Amino acid sequence: MKVLIIGSGGREHALARSFAQSGNISELYVAPGNAGIALQFPCVELFCTEQIIAFCQNRQIDLVFIGPEKPISEGLSDALRAASLNVVAPSMAAARLETSKGFAKELMLCHRIPTAKYYKLSKDDELNQACQELGFPLVLKADGLAAGKGVIIASNPEEASSAYLALANNGQGVIAEEYLTGWEVSLFAITDGVSFQTTVFAQDHKQLCDHDTGPNTGGMGAYAPVPEAEPYRREIETRIVAPVLQAMRDIGCPYQGILYIGLMITKDGPKVVEFNCRWGDPEAQVVLPLLETELSEICSAIVNCEVDKLKLRFKTTTALAVVLASAGYPFEYQQGTPIHIANQVMDKVLFSGVAASEKGLVTAGGRVLCLTCLGSTLAEAREIAYQNLKLVHFEGHKYRKDIGLRTNLI
Ligand code: AMP
Ligand code: GLY
């Protein structure tokens, strides 16, 4: 099988590693990838959809895996399918589950899928009504893609008003949501639009600092599996995953690909915080290394609509990933700082924001890399990851020291 992965982050590096372990991969490319991924896999610059299609036709690519939401939201999966290519990613219309929070919330409301109560705000006076109905803290969200940074939690009417203005000023619609209390966990559904199977649970650590403090980020670390979430799996599959896939079929947008379900486990059971149309980053960096089933087999089942026949298996070990970010992230951050990595940990490093220079790899993004380690228990995976982290360094690097400490589980 010849595979092209679209994307340039740690998730795509994890996808490439996972594909490379499949027995039947003859060629594997990442477009555009990054200078760190390029140390291990061929990276190609393809600047537009036409170039991607031409590349796939010339190289006889059997499968395109689109990692990030942005190209999906711009219609890449549709264009590739129209060119008769096999694609793992939902259509642009199905991806509205992520790209339009308004669409996702309305669909959940119509199908009684458990989620936070919400208001779609189009005027200031609706905000007052939302404040009264939903109380405080109040969650305000941009209606479109915001790279994990479009959520503001307001604790009083003044904060709500300025949050509304800040989000509305970005030109997007705004959603006000009831604040959910509980603990968060992510689950992934592998689906051909009709059948689905779910992965191990993963836990992201979205806030910048230890003990879940500081600003929200794209994710500072993760681990999988999360045994505490297992008692909820059946309920999540029957009350959330099955109805959302059915609803998408009913409106003529079958969802084919990987569906990310961000959940809050509340005292009333699991509720949806968000859907994403792709693997999570950094969740992919801990879920994919646990796969026992080959990723190529999973992808074939998705594109051939045979997910019901897929034998999805995971290792019984635990994977833990710690993200190293640039000083200043998630705000303005430094770039061009040399990165030092000891050879013996290179196979555990997945690269995101890096570039090549005469001095070797340098930082070129907020989240620079992540280190993923496996252990027979969570404590062991943690121990190994933080030991190995001592062998990775760049000036000003920032990381959380409490990944996997489970202080955030109630
Ligand atoms: P989202 O972009 O919707 O995933 O939101 C980002 C983060 O904001 C989530 O991972 C939660 O930590 C937090 N969040 C979002 N919605 C809610 C909610 N309704 N109640 C509490 N926290 C939320
Ligand atoms: N880790 C959160 C996300 O990928 O959206």
- Give me the CATH number covering residue 7: 3.40.50.20
Residue 96, domain member (yes or no): no
pLDDT tens readout for residues 10-36? 999 999 999 999 999 999 999 999 999
In this structure, are 191 and 268 located in the same domain? Answer: yes
Q: Which two tokens stand for residue 171?
A: 């030109």
CA 47 / ligand 1 centre spacing (Å): 33
Note whether residue 107 is domain-resident: no
Tally of CB atoms within 10 A around 173: 17
- Which ligand sits nearest to residue 218's alpha carbon? 2
If asked whether residues 160 and 236 sit together in one domain, one would say no
Beta-bridge partner residues of 6: 31, 66
**329 in the same domain as 355:** yes
251-256: list long-range contacts, CB under 8 Å, 24+ apart.
Answer: 253/91, 253/93, 253/94, 253/96, 254/94, 254/193, 254/194, 255/90, 255/94, 255/97, 255/191, 255/193, 256/88, 256/90, 256/91, 256/94, 256/191, 256/192, 256/193, 256/302, 256/303, 256/305
Same domain assignment for residues 200 and 295: yes
For the stretch 83-110, pLDDT in tens is 999 999 999 999 999 999 999 999 999 9
Per the structure, the count of domains in the chain is 4
Question: How many Å apart are CA 233 and CA 69, to the nearest integer?
Answer: 25
User: How much is the pLDDT for 367?
Assistant: 97
Strand partners, 178: 138
Q: Do both 291 and 187 map to the same domain?
A: yes
140 and 206 housed in the same domain = no
Same domain, 234 and 148: no
Both tokens assigned to 370: 């992540």
pTM: predicted TM-score of the whole model, two decimal places? 0.96
Is pLDDT above 80 for 407? no
What's the whole-number mean pLDDT along residues 302-312?
A: 98
On whether residue 325 sits in a domain, the answer given is yes
User: Is the pLDDT score of 347 beyond 80?
Assistant: yes
The residue from 88, 106, 135 where one domain ends is 88
The Cα 268–Cα 10 span in angstroms is 35
Q: Which domain holds residue 136?
A: 117-178
- Which ligand neighbours the alpha carbon of 262 most closely? 1
Same domain? For 137 and 153 the reply is yes
What is the predicted pLDDT for the residue at 245?
98
Find where tokens 């589980």 sit.
409
Report, as an integer, the average pLDDT of 148-168: 87
| Res. 199 pLDDT band, cuts 50 70 90 | very high
The C-alpha atoms of residue 403 and residue 211 are separated, in whole angstroms, by 9
Asked if residue 352 belongs to a domain, the reply is: yes
Q: How far apart are the CA of 365 and the centre of ligand 2, in A?
A: 16
Ligand 2 pocket check: which of 263, 283, 323 to mutate, most ligand atoms within 8 Å of Cβ?
A: 283
Same domain, 233 and 125: no
| CATH number of the domain bearing residue 294 | 3.30.470.20
From the CA of 278, how far away is ligand 2's center (Å)?
9
Last residue of a domain, one of 266, 282, 309: 309
